[in-house]
Amino acid sequence: MKRYRAAIFDLDGTLLNTLGDLCAAASAGLTAHGYPSITEEQTRLRVGNGIRNLILRSLPEDAGDSVIDACLSGFRSHYEAHLHDLTHPYEGIPALLHALRSQGVKIAVLSNKYDRAAKRLIEHFFPGLITLTLGERPGIPRKPDPTSTREVLAALGVRPEDTLYIGDSGVDMQTAKNAGLTAAGVTWGFRSREILLENGADLLADHPAQLLAHFADPARLQEGFTRCGFAFSYFETSSQAVDYLKNVCRGKTAAFGGSMTLETLGAYDALREGGTVHWHWRGDPPDTAPEVFLTSANALALTGEVVNLDGNCNRAAASMYGSDAVYFICGMNKLAPDLPSAVSRTRNIAAPRNARRLNRHTPCAADGRCHDCRSPERICRALAILLAPSSSVKHTEIVLVGETLGY
């Protein structure tokens, strides 16, 4: 998996949900001059190319420059006084930024919001986390022109190929392409997945935790897990991880917990060559006390916790009791900045995808997000959080693979 040294974030719709304050300020500027207010939905569809364009798109086509300027002045006056009344970070964003800083990633914000407001918002919500913030400035072309992006790269001292551009709009995806950067589209913002893909998104993220895998430094990952008492191994490729597990299980009895990661790795057939393997997915009889138990996790928090949701609870129980050694095999996509983010990843990414895989008729299978449902078909019946290895297990190890594996 490609790992980047720097991140350039868009602001509105990416780091912060600013829709309420933008709508209120635009409506204040418009109504002060006799024009109707606008809704948040109208605001969402009109932002992204600077505040002047938001006002222009909210006025009649024949409105002249003097009217636009007057409404824009009213917007600025209201917005300066109410900059963050309704604005708030998206869930998981502060934890992501802290995690990126801990991994040594250089972070910048590049916005089409006017520069003073962009800087004030970053200082208010993310003090000390952002290296550089640039907004709209006189004489500098707005995004998607690459001029300001190149200015950020020069200031950070990084190359385009080492930088991931992260935004929620077609303008952001075009900006990345125009500057030669990889474009990551986030789906929690103001634009749809379809618009992001149409404008050249190289990858999509449905949750901030999903971005972490593109920056995490294996050399820095071990600390959180070993501090909590877990052993830790990292392998760049699946084949290296499988070879390691073959040595671990050679001459021993091993059992598998249900895992798309282990399925993708082809671990069952590989490990049978040197030992005895039981997996209920293959119709094998259960082994309630194997020497080695192998499974995956729904999420791994950089703070050291291992998180799993389970339906029958056999997988969760076996990861805590009954074996001499337990191995959690996970791709980089399972990483999350902290425990709340790991739980959110488990409930909003892993669970819905597994529900679809199992053809369950649950709300999460339909729309891809967790609900407080009481469906008889729900698969999330136990949330297991290992704060440290079980005292009954002699050896518990995280085996991290530098690829995307499982859900």
Whole domain around residue 266: which residue ranges? Answer: 218-401
CATH number at residue 145: 3.40.50.1000
pLDDT of the chain along its 407 residues, tens only? 889 999 999 999 999 999 999 999 999 999 999 999 999 999 988 987 788 889 999 999 888 889 999 999 999 999 999 999 999 999 999 999 999 999 999 999 999 999 999 999 999 999 999 999 999 999 999 999 999 999 999 999 999 999 999 999 999 999 999 999 999 999 999 999 999 999 999 999 999 999 999 999 888 889 999 999 999 999 999 999 999 999 999 999 999 999 999 999 999 999 988 778 999 999 888 777 899 999 999 999 999 999 999 998 888 999 999 999 999 999 999 999 999 999 999 999 999 999 999 999 999 999 988 998 889 999 999 999 999 999 999 999 999 999 999 99
Last residue of a domain, one of 212, 228, 245: 212
Same domain, 203 and 313: no
CATH number at residue 345: 3.40.50.10420
Same domain, 67 and 204: no
Catalytic residues: 10
Same domain, 317 and 390: yes
303 inside domain: yes
Same domain, 255 and 300: yes
Number of domains in the chain: 3
Same domain, 76 and 102: no
* Cβ atoms 233, 209 nearer than 8 A: no
Same domain, 318 and 395: yes
Please give the Cα distance from 336 to 343 (Å, whole number): 9
Same domain, 271 and 381: yes
Same domain, 371 and 358: yes
Please give the Cα distance from 177 to 142 (Å, whole number): 15
350 inside domain: yes
Last residue of a domain, one of 182, 212, 242: 212
Same domain, 181 and 296: no
345 inside domain: yes
151 inside domain: yes
CATH number at residue 45: 1.10.150
pTM score of the predicted model: 0.88
Same domain, 184 and 232: no
